């Protein structure tokens, strides 16, 4: 019978050269070399006051190394990172025999604040030295992610006032009921030192909870005398768990969180700017990101963004700055024949779980179903009836339009009423309007100018590069790195965590380019 050597896969003592575990060309080696030789972390020293008294602190470089390497593996939990420092040989090589406690790691990550911005800028400078930033085109995009905040604690000040009044009224009714019960209670008295009945205990706990919740609401209202407002002055929902977060609609439902925005260079997909904002309106985020990109831009650097960042005000501001840009509008794909077959490539709903209602009637007629002659200025409806024109030389928002309306003698008895009118029982005739270009003598809008630039062959080619520039970056962070939510509260902390993930992406690019190999 053959005999084999006994393999001990769990030796008690094993001599390991820790420095040899960080292989050149790997992400861990690039992180270790960057934080030890290329980046000045002296600004972290102001956090400590232990030069004379107190215990020695963990070096910020060590903590940053283990956090970045853990984030690269999709591990965010401080307890899980601490376990890696105890069991994983690569993390032992990074931190040595000084294993940080999970509370130390959690406090370090949540307190990074503006210091991580300095590290992000330093890594960006190294990427520039390695020739990874081309500055030919910056693509801007964002993703809405939930944070460590309760969606149920969102509302306006008026909503919180009503909640506090309801809680106070419920507590008052319960207290009055207890007093009435105590006054008419003829049952056996409770022993002075004995425990109260279970029902009295539950009622007392509920009363204390109602009073506590009402007091917390009143304290929050006193600390926040005004509602949150948007840049245009509209009232926004506030959140009592995380006041900086926002309730945002996504493709997977409504989340309470932040919009993480990144600007990516087209040459090697280096993230040149990363921000997090507590708003779901992307139009408000374009100009802050462009302002942060100014030090990185040249006179010919092209800024690209999708339709979520499009607005007349944004385009006007970019034109005033003389900033080359391609910002798509909502109708860009409809005008581009390359997207004519995009519907066939979309994933269909699961028939076993699709809860959408099946339409029971035919769709209504759109203006495209009407025949409009721009030269004769006539219009014919789908039923073959001519509509009469209302007014002449109509100008709406700088565009020349032609408005038509059907005659009662044609529309009232028409068999197409249910498809032509939204409310056929209340509306007698159909109205339709067509636009055929800017009004003569009126200045062309910035939206129209941008549409012309995007629709040119050169503009389509340049905008097409945006997809290949920024979408793979978010795929790497969301899928490969497991970024599904932010685990912190407050915009400063969330932005610091977002920059950590973006740092992981940039350092990976450096490692793949052979940095410090």
Distance of CA 210 to the CA centre of its chain: 35
Q: What is the pLDDT of residue 403?
A: 92
The answer to which of 25-34, 94-103, 353-362, 447-456 has the lowest mean pLDDT is 353-362
Distance of CA 57 to the CA centre of its chain: 35
What b/e string do you get for 472-482 counting C-beta neighbours within 10 Å, with b at 16 or more? ebbebbeeebe
Pairing of strands 137-146, 302-305: parallel
d(CA 315, CA 323): 10
pLDDT in tens, 147-192: 999 888 888 888 889 988 999 999 888 888 878 877 776 554 555 5
**Contact predicate 516/29, CB 8 Å:** yes
Burial of 382 (0-12, 13-18, 19+ CB in 10 A): middle
Band of residue 114 on the pLDDT scale cut at 50, 70, 90: confident
Which residues does residue 143 pair with via DSSP β-bridges, in sequence order? 260
Pairing of strands 253-265, 246-250: antiparallel
Residues in contact with 204: Cβ distance below 8 Å, sequence separation at least 6, in sequence order: 196
pLDDT for the residue numbered 231: 72
Rounded Cα distance, 429 and 123, in Å:
65
Element (H, E) at 201: helix 198-223
Domains of the chain in sequence order: 18-110 (no CATH), 137-146+247-337+447-496 (3.30.420), 367-429 (no CATH)
Q: What mean pLDDT comes out for the span 359-364?
A: 79
pTM: 0.84
H or E element: which one contains 290? helix 286-293
The pLDDT of residue 182 is 73
Task: Report the SS3 class of residue 372.
Answer: strand
Secondary structure element (H or E) that encloses residue 214, with its range: helix 198-223
Query: Residues 103-136, buried b or exposed e (16+ Cβ, 10 A)?
Result: eebbebbbebeebbeebbebbbebbbeeebbebe
Could you give the CA distance from residue 318 to residue 301 in angstroms, rounded to a whole number? 13
φ and ψ of 438, to 5 deg: -65, 150
Q: pLDDT per residue over 74-85, tens digit each?
A: 999 999 999 999
- Output Rg (C-alpha) for the chain, integer angstroms: 32
Report the share of the chain in percent with pLDDT over 90: 57
**pLDDT for 78:** 96
Confidence tier at 36 by pLDDT (50, 70, 90): very high
Mean pLDDT of 226-246: 84
Between CA 227 and CA 213 the distance in angstroms is: 20
For residue 197, what pLDDT band results from cuts at 50, 70 and 90?
low
DSSP 76-107: --HHHHHHHHHH-HHHHHHHTT-PPPHHHHHH
pLDDT at 407 over 90: yes
Crossing angle for the helix pair 491-512 and 60-72, nearest 10 degrees?
A: 80
Position 189 scores a pLDDT of 52
Given a cut of 80, whether residue 359 has pLDDT beyond it is no
Phi, psi at 193, each rounded to 5°: -100, 0
d(CA 261, CA 498): 9
Half-sphere exposure of 24 toward its Cβ, with a 13 Å CA cutoff?
4
pLDDT for residue 383: 93
- Calculate mean pLDDT across residues 399-413: 92
Whole-number Å distance between alpha carbons of 464 and 495: 29
Q: d(Cα 32, Cα 23) in Å, to the nearest integer?
A: 10
Distance between CA 349 and CA 358 in Å, rounded?
Answer: 13
Is residue 236 within 8 A of residue 248, CB to CB? The reply is no
- Kindly state the helix (H) or strand (E) to which residue 249 belongs, with its residue range: strand 246-250
- Exposed, middle or buried, 21 (CB in 10 Å: 0-12/13-18/19+)? middle
pLDDT tier at 365 (50, 70, 90 boundaries)?
Answer: very high
pLDDT above 70 (res 499)? yes
Q: What is the rounded CA–CA span in Å between residue 256 and residue 310?
A: 24
Indicate the helix (H) or strand (E) that contains 288: helix 286-293
Q: Contact 74/481 with Cβ under 8 angstroms?
A: yes
Average pLDDT (218-228) is: 88
pLDDT of residue 319: 95
> Which of the four pLDDT bands, split at 50, 70 and 90, describes residue 296?
very high
């Amino acid at each position: 019978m053959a005999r084999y050597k006994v393999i001990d896969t769990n030796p008690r003592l094993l001599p390991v050269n820790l420095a040899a575990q960080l292989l050149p060309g790997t992400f861990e080696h690039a992180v270790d070399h960057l934080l030890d030789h290329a980046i000045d972390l002296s600004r972290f020293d102001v956090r400590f006051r232990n030069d004379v008294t107190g215990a020695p602190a963990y070096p910020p470089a060590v903590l940053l190394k283990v956090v970045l390497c853990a984030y690269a593996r999709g591990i965010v939990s401080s307890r899980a990172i601490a376990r890696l420092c105890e069991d994983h040989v690569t993390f032992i090589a990074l931190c040595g025999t000084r294993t940080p406690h999970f509370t130390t790691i959690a406090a370090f990550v949540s307190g990074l604040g503006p210091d991580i911005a300095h590290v992000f800028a330093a890594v960006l400078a190294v990427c520039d030295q390695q020739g990874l930033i081309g500055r030919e085109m910056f693509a801007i995009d964002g993703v809405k992610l939930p944070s460590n905040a309760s969606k149920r604690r969102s509302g306006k000040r008026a909503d919180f006032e009503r909640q506090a009044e309801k809680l106070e009224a419920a507590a008052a009714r319960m207290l009055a009921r207890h007093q009435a019960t105590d006054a008419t209670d003829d049952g056996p008295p409770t022993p002075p030192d004995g425990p109260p009945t279970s029902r009295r205990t539950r009622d007392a706990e509920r009363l204390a909870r109602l009073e506590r919740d009402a007091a917390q609401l009143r304290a929050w209202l006193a600390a926040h005398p005004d509602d949150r407002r948007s840049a245009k002055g509209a009232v926004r929902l506030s959140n009592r768990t995380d006041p900086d977060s926002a309730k945002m609609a996504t493709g997977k439902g409504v989340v309470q969180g932040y919009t993480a925005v990144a600007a990516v260079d087209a040459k090697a997909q280096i993230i040149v700017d990363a921000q997090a904002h507590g708003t779901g309106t992307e139009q408000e985020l374009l100009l802050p990101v462009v302002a942060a990109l100014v030090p990185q831009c040249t006179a010919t650097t092209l800024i690209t963004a999708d339709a979520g960042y499009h607005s007349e005000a944004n385009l006007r501001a970019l034109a005033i700055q003389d900033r080359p840009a391609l910002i798509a509008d909502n109708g860009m794909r409809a005008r581009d024949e390359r997207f004519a077959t995009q519907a066939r490539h979309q994933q269909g709903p699961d028939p076993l779980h699709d809860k959408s209602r099946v339409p029971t009637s035919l769709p209504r007629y759109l203006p495209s179903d009407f025949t409009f002659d721009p030269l004769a200025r006539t219009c014919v409806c789908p039923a073959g009836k001519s509509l009469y024109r209302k007014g002449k030389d109509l100008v709406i928002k700088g565009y020349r339009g032609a408005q038509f309306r059907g005659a009662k003698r044609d529309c009232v008895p028409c068999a197409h009423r249910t498809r032509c009118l939204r409310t056929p029982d209340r509306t007698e005739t159909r109205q339709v309007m067509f636009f055929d270009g800017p009004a003569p003598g009126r200045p062309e809008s910035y939206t129209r100018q941008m549409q012309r630039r995007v629709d040119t062959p050169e503009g389509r080619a340049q905008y097409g590069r945006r997809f290949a520039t920024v979408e793979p970056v978010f795929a790497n962070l969301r899928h490969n790195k497991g970024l599904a939510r932010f685990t912190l509260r407050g915009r400063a902390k969330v932005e610091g965590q977002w920059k950590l993930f973006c740092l992981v992406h940039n350092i990976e690019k450096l490692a793949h380019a052979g940095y410090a190999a």
